[in-house]
Amino acid sequence: GIQVEQSPPDLILQEGANSTLRCNFSDSVNNLQWFHQNPWGQLINLFYIPSGTKQNGRLSATTVATERYSLLYISSSQTTDSGVYFCAVPLNLNTNAGKSTFGDGTTLTVKP
């Protein structure tokens, strides 16, 4: 199956700082999502981004499928951005895009 690696595993920022989270994957994919897991455990959809760039407020994401990576940018971070960020790609190239494999996540802590 496709392997997913996220970096860094942990990130501590001061409020207001910018950050870049990275997701590398081992094969070309037609499907990639970024999630934020809040302190209560729910995974919130941030971006569905199989290719290109998307922006949503202070967050933006870029996926370069041919180079097998995706980046999540957080600008002017706030304490509410704290939590774990996951990327997910299809489990393998033959899936109907139903089954996903997840990275281990980046744990972000934003200090006031």
Binding site for another protein (CB under 8 A): 30-31, 33, 35, 40-45, 48, 86, 88, 90, 96-100, 102-105
Q: Which is nearer to another protein, 16 or 52 (CB)?
A: 52
Nearest distance, CB of residue 88 and another protein, angstroms: 7
Nearer to another protein, 77 or 103 (CB): 103
Identity of the residue, 41 or 57, whose beta carbon is nearer to another protein in the bound complex: 41
What is the rounded CA–CA span in Å between residue 72 and residue 32? 12
Q: What six digits make up the tokens of 66?
A: 């041919």
The three-class DSSP label of residue 24 is strand
Cβ 110 to another protein shortest distance, Å: 21
If the CB atoms of residues 99 and 111 are measured against another protein, the closer one turns out to be 99
State the nearest-atom distance from the C-beta of 31 to another protein, in Å: 5
Rounded to the nearest angstrom, the gap between the alpha carbon of residue 13 and the centroid of all alpha carbons in its chain is 17
Residue at token pair 């895009």: 97
Q: Is residue 59 within 8 Å of 46, Cβ to Cβ? A: yes
CB of 14: closest distance to another protein in angstroms? Answer: 26
Going by the DSSP 8-state scheme, the letter that residue 26 receives in this structure is: S
Give the whole-angstrom CA distance, residue 36 versus residue 41.
9
